[in-house]
């Protein structure tokens, strides 16, 4: 396999932007007739998928933590008024 220039740092992109990049790769793979030419694209797609998954889990965790914080604040307010 030939050496490939590493893609830009995907950490700076949003989940939506990464998803768009993945969709573009999928479209190009669907049009490709020679599978030997698509190995690099497929590997980049796998990397993008892992990055999207990690970002999604990170966002999910952040939302959960923020929700718990707000619930605790509401509970404290309710205890003070009771």
Q: For the segment 52-74, what is each residue's pLDDT rounded down to a tens digit?
A: 999 889 888 999 999 999 999 99
Closest C-alpha among 66, 29, 32, 69 to residue 45: 29
Residue 63 · residue 15 · CB < 8 Å: no
Residue 38 · residue 32 · CB < 8 Å: yes
| Residue with the larger pLDDT of the pair 3 and 32 | 32
Q: Is the pLDDT of residue 3 over 80?
A: no
- 39-81 and 15-31 helices cross at what angle (nearest 10)? 150
12-46 pLDDT tens trace: 888 899 999 999 999 999 988 887 878 888 999 99
The length of the chain, given as a count of residues: 82
- Both tokens assigned to 60: 């999910």
């Amino acid at each position: 396999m030939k050496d490939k220039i590493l893609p830009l740092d995907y950490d700076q992109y949003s989940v939506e932007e990464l998803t768009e990049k993945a969709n573009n790769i999928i479209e190009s793979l669907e049009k490709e007739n020679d599978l030997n030419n698509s190995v690099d694209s497929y590997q980049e797609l796998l990397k993008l998928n892992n990055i999207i998954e990690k970002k999604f889990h990170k966002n999910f965790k952040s939302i959960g933590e923020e929700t718990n914080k707000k619930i605790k604040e509401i509970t404290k307010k309710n205890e003070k008024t009771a």
